[in-house]
Amino acid sequence: MNKPLRRVAIFCGLLVLALLVRVNWVQFVQADELKNDKNNRRVAITRYSVPRGDIIVDGKAITGSTTTDTGDFKYKRTYKNGPMWAPVTGYASQVYDANQLEKLNDGILTGDDDRLFFNRTIDMITGKQKKGGRVVTTLDSAAQKAAFKGLGNKKGAVAAIDPQTGAILALASTPSYDPSTIAGMNDGAAYKSLLNDKDQPMLNRALKQAYPPGSTFKVVTAAAALEHGLYDDIDAKTDSPLPWNLPNTSTPLKNHGDLPCKNASIREALRVSCNTTFGKIGSDLGRDKMVETAEKFGFNNPEIDTPVRAVKSAFSTKMDLPQTALSSIGQFETSATPLQMAMVTAAIANDGKLMKPYMVDQLQAPNLNVVEQHKPEEMSEPLSPEHAQQIQDAMETVVKEGTGSGAQMPGVTVGGKTGTAQHGVGNSERPYAWFLSYAKTDEGSPVAVAVVVEDSDADRGDISGGGLAAPIAKDVMEAVINSEK
* Contacts made by residues 479-482, CB under 8 angstroms, sequence distance 24+: 479/140, 479/142, 479/143, 479/145, 479/146, 480/140, 480/142, 480/143, 480/160, 480/169, 480/439, 480/446, 480/447, 481/409, 481/412, 481/439, 481/441, 481/446, 481/447, 482/142
- Catalytic entry in 65, 215, 240, 437: 215
Residue 291 phi, psi (nearest 5): -60, -45
Cα separation, 123 vs 50, in Å, equals 13
Cα separation, 378 vs 465, in Å, equals 30
Q: Looking at this protein, which amino acid is placed at residue 444?
A: G
Do residues 147 and 476 lie in contact, with contact meaning Cβ atoms separated by under 8 Å?
Answer: yes
HSE, side-chain direction, 13 A CA sphere, residue 205: 24
Do residues 362 and 370 lie in contact, with contact meaning Cβ atoms separated by under 8 Å?
Answer: yes
Three-state DSSP state, 353: coil
Do residues 293 and 227 lie in contact, with contact meaning Cβ atoms separated by under 8 Å?
Answer: yes
Query: CA gyration radius for the chain?
Result: 27
Q: Looking at this protein, which amino acid is placed at residue 248?
A: N
Residue 117 burial by CB count (10 A; 0-12/13-18/19+): exposed, middle or buried?
Answer: exposed
Cα separation, 448 vs 201, in Å, equals 25
Three-state DSSP state, 273: coil
Cα separation, 346 vs 353, in Å, equals 8
Three-state DSSP state, 12: helix
Residues in the chain: 485
Cα separation, 304 vs 306, in Å, equals 7
In degrees, to the nearest 5, what angle opens at C-alpha 82 toward C-alphas 36 and 362? 60
DSSP H stretches of helix in 287-351 = 287-296, 321-327, 338-349
Give the Å distances, CA to CA, from 438 to 134, 204, 371.
31, 23, 33
Cα separation, 208 vs 210, in Å, equals 7
Three-state DSSP state, 444: strand
Give yes or no: 335 in active site.
no
Supply the residues annotated as catalytic. Answer: 215
